[in-house]
């Protein structure tokens, strides 16, 4: 059966106190809505992202990065139910399933979504909502059940009676619906509630009244549905993500000396027996080979491909670069937009000057196999150092260097004998 998703991302995100739309805030260099879109990409045939607040920014982000997603404008934003109704004109004759998710819930996993859909199918459900248990359920919608434990409705915090507020089962904000059966609900929702909004949550009660098969899938790991509404939540989600990712790598045979101070993005692959030393920060998409040593205090900024037996030492920053096997950049360097061969040694303090502030263009540095770069060298890109060439320390390299040559731009050293003694007289 065909599955499409609707991802809600039109809300204001007032509590973020930000000029940036909430769903474009980042964890390890990846946007919140990016996590959600990546989670559905192997499940759905098409995805609709509902945009409204700062619509253009979210729209251009989605267009640029996700070709399986369309954006749909919601103006004004009259609530989560109103948001979903925006896709009705596009899906008039659609017969498949719709998975509804929130753009501010990045910790959900593909695995859980697959289980959720399997559950929906196995129950022959028409409408399934994901729920979980929170010791402190504040701010979430509460799942209200009948005496026989079947679902009754969802009540928002602001509409809840003290009795309902005590319920610890909450709405995760993730739904799977048989579109053809539930679609009529969207023209029948009312905004008769504390926030004057068209609540998506009301489709539960609507489904019950219309004799649909309505079910809840209770998620055990409540961390996954953690929704981000403030910067405090963003930091908390980053911590959860950090722990989850570090554990995955350690289970796969990567040594992480101090997981508490090591941050690795979700889209980084790391080979076996690589050691990640403390205070290392890895964001964006990267591939790190086997037997590498990364850090302490290294920063990989995305687009980095490192082969086996490579050492990236302390205070080395790498961005959008390929580094071949057995190469070392041990200390205090910046490697950006570069292609680096194998058995290359990059001396302490080497900088690839990749950015021209006048043209705003970035250029490439190529270091072929067996190149040795002396300490404190600046490689002014575009520049190529051919195989086996050496660069003397403290050089500014502005021209290509042929194979096996030595290049240096250092001024000759002078020694003035007894100079100090004469000054002291
Ligand atoms: C919502 C649910 C709540 C659930 C919680 C889970 C409703 C009424 N409440 O509450 O039961 O426990 O999520 O995280 O659905 N949005 C739009 N258009 C709008 C309004 C919101 O696209 O007009 C988007 C927001 O950008 C956000 C999502 O919908 O991504 C959820 O909205 P939010 O205001 O965060 O709802 P919650 O109060 O968290
Ligand atoms: Ca929310």
Specify the pairing of strand 286-288 against strand 268-270.
Answer: parallel
Ligand in nearest proximity to the CA of 51:
1
Stretch 295-321: mean pLDDT = 98
Ligand 1 mean position to 102 CA, how many Å? 7
CATH of domain 3-225: 3.90.550.10
> Would the CA dihedral through 121, 169, 157, 243 be positive or negative?
negative
Nearest CA to ligand 1 atom 20: 79
- Per DSSP, the residues of 272-338 read TT-EE-SS-EE-SSEEE-TT-EE-SS-EE-SSEEE-TT-EEEET-EEES-EE-TT-EEEES-EEESE
Stretch 136-162: mean pLDDT = 96
Record the pTM. Answer: 0.91
Catalytic residue list contains 331: yes
Banded pLDDT at 282 (limits 50, 70, 90): very high
Stretch 386-393: mean pLDDT = 98
Ligand 2 mean position to 124 CA, how many Å? 29
CATH of domain 235-407: 2.160.10.10
3-state secondary structure of 63: helix
Name the residue of 6, 16, 79, 102 whose CB sits within 8 Å of the most ligand 1 atoms, as the mutation to test its pocket.
102
The closest-lying atom of ligand 1 relative to the alpha carbon of residue 170 is 12
State the pLDDT at residue 210. 98
Element (H, E) at 236: helix 231-251
Ligand 1 mean position to 8 CA, how many Å? 8
Residues of the chain with CATH 3.90.550.10: 3-225
Ligand in nearest proximity to the CA of 197:
1
CB-side exposure of 24: number of CA atoms within 13 Å?
Answer: 18
Ligand 1 mean position to 285 CA, how many Å? 29
Ligand 2 mean position to 81 CA, how many Å? 14
Among residues 82, 233, 331, 343, the one annotated as catalytic is 331
The closest-lying atom of ligand 1 relative to the alpha carbon of residue 171 is 12
Q: What is the pLDDT of residues 223-252, one digit of tens each?
A: 999 999 999 999 999 999 999 999 999 999
| d(C-alpha 170, C-alpha 138), whole Å | 9
Pocket of ligand 1 (CB under 6 A): 8-11, 50, 52, 74, 77-80, 82-83, 102-105, 140-141, 154, 156, 170-173, 199-201, 227, 229
The closest-lying atom of ligand 1 relative to the alpha carbon of residue 103 is 30
Stretch 347-352: mean pLDDT = 98
Stretch 139-168: mean pLDDT = 97
Residue 12 has pLDDT above 90, yes or no: no
Ligand in nearest proximity to the CA of 225:
1
The verdict on whether omega for the bond into residue 233 sits within 30 degrees of 0, i.e. cis, is: no
| d(C-alpha 189, C-alpha 204), whole Å | 11
Banded pLDDT at 218 (limits 50, 70, 90): very high
The closest-lying atom of ligand 1 relative to the alpha carbon of residue 195 is 8
Residue 376 has pLDDT above 90, yes or no: yes
Q: What is the pLDDT of residues 28-44, one digit of tens each?
A: 999 999 999 999 999 99
Residues of the chain with CATH 2.160.10.10: 235-407
Banded pLDDT at 183 (limits 50, 70, 90): very high
Name the residue of 80, 155, 190 whose CB sits within 8 Å of the most ligand 1 atoms, as the mutation to test its pocket.
80
State the pLDDT at residue 140. 94
Banded pLDDT at 174 (limits 50, 70, 90): very high
Compute the mean pLDDT over every residue in the chain, rounded to the nearest whole number. Answer: 97
């Amino acid at each position: 059966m065909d599955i499409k998703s609707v991802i809600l991302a039109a809300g204001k995100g007032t509590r973020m106190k930000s000029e940036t739309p909430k769903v474009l805030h980042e964890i390890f260099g990846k946007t919140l809505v990016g996590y959600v879109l990546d989670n559905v990409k192997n499940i759905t045939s098409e995805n609709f992202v509902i945009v409204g607040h700062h619509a253009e920014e979210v729209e251009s982000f989605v267009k640029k990065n996700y070709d399986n997603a369309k954006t749909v404008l919601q103006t004004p934003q009259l609530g989560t139910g109103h948001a979903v109704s925006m896709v009705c004109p596009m899906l008039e004759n659609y017969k498949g399933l719709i998975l509804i998710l929130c753009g501010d819930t990045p910790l959900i996993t593909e695995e859980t979504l697959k289980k959720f859909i399997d559950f929906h199918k196995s129950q022959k459900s028409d409408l399934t909502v994901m729920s979980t248990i929170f010791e402190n359920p504040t701010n979430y919608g509460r799942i209200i059940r009948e005496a026989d434990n079947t679902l009754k409705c969802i009540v928002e915090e602001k509409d809840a009676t003290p009795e309902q507020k005590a319920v610890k089962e909450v709405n995760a904000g993730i739904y799977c619906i048989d579109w053809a059966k539930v679609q009529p609900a969207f023209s029948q929702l009312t905004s008769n509630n504390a926030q004057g909004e068209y609540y998506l949550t009301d489709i539960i009660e609507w489904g019950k009244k219309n004799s649909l098969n309505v079910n809840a899938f209770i998620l055990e790991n409540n961390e996954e549905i953690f929704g981000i509404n403030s910067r405090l939540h963003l930091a908390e989600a980053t911590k959860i993500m950090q722990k989850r990712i570090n554990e995955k790598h350690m289970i796969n045979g990567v040594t992480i000396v101090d997981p508490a101070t090591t941050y690795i993005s979700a889209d980084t692959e790391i080979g076996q027996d690589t050691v990640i030393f403390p205070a290392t920060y890895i964001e964006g998409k990267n591939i790190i080979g086997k037997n590498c040593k990364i850090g302490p205090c290294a920063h990989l900024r995305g687009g980095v491909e490192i082969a086996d037996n490579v050492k990236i030492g302390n205070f080395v920053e790498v961005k959008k670069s390929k580094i071949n096997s057995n190469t070392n950049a041990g200390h205090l360097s910046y490697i950006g937009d570069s292609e680096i061969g194998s058995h290359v040694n990059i001396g302490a303090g080497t900088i690839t000057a990749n950015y021209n502030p006048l043209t705003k263009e970035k250029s490439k540095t190529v270091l072929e196999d067996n190149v040795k770069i002396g300490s404190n060298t600046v490689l002014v890109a575009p520049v190529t150092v051919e195989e086996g060439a050496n660069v003397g320390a403290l050089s500014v390299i502005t021209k290509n260097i042929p194979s096996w040559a030595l290049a240096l731009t250092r001024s000759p050293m002078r020694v003035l004998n007894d100079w100090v003694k004469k000054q002291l007289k």
